Structure 1
Amino acid sequence: MTPRPPVPALSPEAGPGPAGTLTDLPCPVAVTPAAAVARRPVTGSVHSTDMSIGVDGPGSRFVAFLAGCPLSCLYCHNPDTRYLRNGTRMSADDLVADIARCATFLRAAGGGVTLSGGEPLLQPVFAGEVLHRCRRELGLHTALDTSGFLGPRASDALLADTDLVLLDIKSWDPETYTRVTGRDLRPTLEFARRLERLGREVWVRFVLVPGLTDDPDNIDGVARFAASLNNVSRVDVLPFHRLGAAKWEAMGIPFPLADTPPPTAEQVTAAREIFIARGLTTV
């Protein structure tokens, strides 16, 4: 496979730039004075919302897909959420109001709300406001689906309002991780250790891609790390699929793994057994 070009680092100075570049992303931290923020509604870029069962946290979930992501994963099934401009500007008030309409059902179904994307921590103020209000005002279980790459943007207050973190650890081997995402693995591991210190429950997510992430040593590395944390309650081994290929085509971008087959049932079972051998619960 052709080596991936380097991806530029996020920068606080990033401003308007050509479409499709990381200058399309915001500053790492909101710089607006707190008093000014208090005078106007918190807003964010929301790509879409959906309902799911069991895969985005326990029970039935209201899932909000926030726009924008600093990673460029080869197997991304939501490439249409990559940039902030891919979403619709929406206030936290309006999103929470949409969630509130389902709150009685979500509580009865043992579910809650999940912020996904994209990468929710690209919009930490908006994400934190929505999580806070869903948990404190609506009494809903809250979950954050993240790669952990932008973990430093998550304040302790945001994480205190997060009942569950769905943490995507895409590879243990650093070179493979960079090949898959265009980014560095270290921030994800540091974020995982921080979540352990804060006592936040974690479900680790690992995508099994034949010929890319399926080396047994790579899988065992993720398993050893997950088992070393006392807050990981579950590991989801997610088989690679090509269901997002049509989105890549619609965007006029060749799907990088178009020729990669999904893993067989036997390969998925073998990967799960590696996690189980480390004492972890898998699905």
Structure 2
Amino acid sequence: MSSTAAPTEHPTGAPVVQLGVPLVGGSHHRASAGTAGLDASDAGRSERFSQVRTGELGSLHSWELVTAVDGPGTRMTTFLSGCPLRCLYCHNPDTMEMRRGEPIEAEELLARIARYKKIFDVTGGGITISGGEPLMQPAFVARILRGAKELGIHTAIDTSGYLGAHCTDEMLEDVDLVLLDVKSGDPETYKRVTGQALQPTLDFGRRLAAHGIEIWIRFVLVPGLTDDPANVEAVAEFAASLPTVSRLEVLPFHQMGRDKWETLGMKYELDDTPAPSLELVERVRGQFRAKGLTVF
């Protein structure tokens, strides 16, 4: 998996980006908001509330350029702050609360996105709006999606689907791809993993398919939590039922976010959970392949 290197700024144009090393705006660690290159809004409190309602202002945690990770080609992935889920394995718990983000105007972010259009055109990439949970800020996301489409840029959102009802049909017209995080196929397991209900994710997935929107499903494999064969089978059956699913990604659990939980003073319940073995990963991928899914 390759990604991009830190850009060299030039006063007369967009940064030159070389492939090979991950670039995170402002920081190589997502524990603090990496919003380098973006000017935070200096609007007063009451004005900010008004701008948030209209989508002119959003809470942005960080951004980065990556290749073949958050969609096709080279992507500018923007991580918005705020999430209604409390996933036990979250590796970016600092995105859970909107107050941890930086107030960034939609036009400011769109201007940054526009600087990478040539890269997107060459690599078949685009913009991916992630989080946190992007649909916590639907008006802001709608503005970014519309602005990106007006620029002729491929768009994707990375979402749990839990707040799918916040995504209007008009917004869906501006979405080319959805990275749908299906964290469990069993309602009780989903509740254990996230603290919330599974059904909204299922409903949103079906709605996306009905709109003909391409879907990549992501499933985090956690030993002792999401690896039960029946749970995996339920995810596989759901994915196979959606005609627009073009890819299913099995993401092995890792401990990379543990230190962030400790830094934030939050209890991390998976401290003793190991990464899945290669045998377990292959078994789960095999279950998905058995349903005719293209698995990564």
TM interval, short-chain normalised: 0.7 to 0.9
Matches within 5 A, 1:96-175: 96-136=110-150, 138-175=151-188
Per the alignment, residue 64 of structure 2 pairs with: 50
1:115-264 map, 5 Å: 115-136=129-150, 138-264=151-277
Letter in 2 for 1:105: I
Distance 1:154 1:170, change over 3 A: same
Residues 48-67 of structure 1: CA distance to partner in whole angstroms, max 9, x if unpaired?
00111112001110000000
Give CA deviations for 1:173-225 in whole Å, capped at 9, x if unaligned.
11000000000000000011111111111001000000000011110110011
Deviation at 1:41, TM superposition (A): 7.0
> How far off is 1:168 after superposition?
0.5
Cα displacement string for residues 5-32 of structure 1 (whole angstroms, at most 9, x for unaligned residues)? xxxxxxxxxxxxxxxxxxxxxxxxxxxx
Aligned residues with identical type, % of pairs = 55
TM-score, normalisation: structure 2: 0.81
Moved over 2 A (4+): none
Distance between the aligned counterparts of 1:48 and 1:150, measured in 2?
A: 21
Which of 71, 86, 90 pairs up with 2:85? 71
Report the secondary structure of 1:107's partner residue: helix
Letter in 2 for 1:135: K
CA distance in 2 between counterparts of 1:213 and 1:276 reads 18
TM-score (norm 1): 0.85
Distance 1:41 1:229, change over 3 A: closer
Q: Which runs of 5+ in 1 are unaligned?
A: 1-35
1:277 to 280, 284, 290: 290
Say which SS state the counterpart of residue 199 (structure 1) adopts. Answer: coil
What's the secondary structure of 2:217's corresponding residue? strand
Q: In 2, distance between residues paired with 1:41 and 1:83? A: 18
Contact residue 55 and residue 139 of structure 2 kept, 8 A: no
Pairwise CA distance, 1:262: 0.5
Alpha-carbon distance in 1 for matches of 2:172, 2:55: 21
Measured in 1, the distance between the counterparts of 2:148 and 2:269 equals 37
Q: Give the conservation status (yes or no) of the 8 Å contact 2:71–2:125.
A: yes
C-alpha displacement of 1:254: 2.8
Deviation at 1:252, TM superposition (A): 1.5
How far, CA to CA, are the matches of 2:177 and 2:214 in structure 1?
5
Amino acid at match of 1:232: V
Paired residues in the alignment total: 246
In structure 2, the residue matched to 1:11 is none
CA distance in 2, matches of 1:71, 1:58: 26
Question: Would you say 1:86 and 2:100 are equivalent positions?
Answer: yes
Q: Say which SS state the counterpart of residue 55 (structure 1) adopts.
A: coil
Q: Is the 8 A contact 1:124 1:154 kept in 2?
A: yes
Conserved? CA contact 1:41–1:93, under 8 Å = no
1:7 corresponding residue in structure 2: none
Question: Structure 1 41/191 Cα, relative in aligned 2: closer, same or farther at 3 Å?
Answer: closer
**In the alignment, residue 199 of structure 1 is paired with which amino acid?**
G
* Cα distance in 1 for residues equivalent to 2:81 and 2:250: 25
* CA deviations over 1:227-249 (Å, ceiling 9, x no partner): 01111011000000110111111
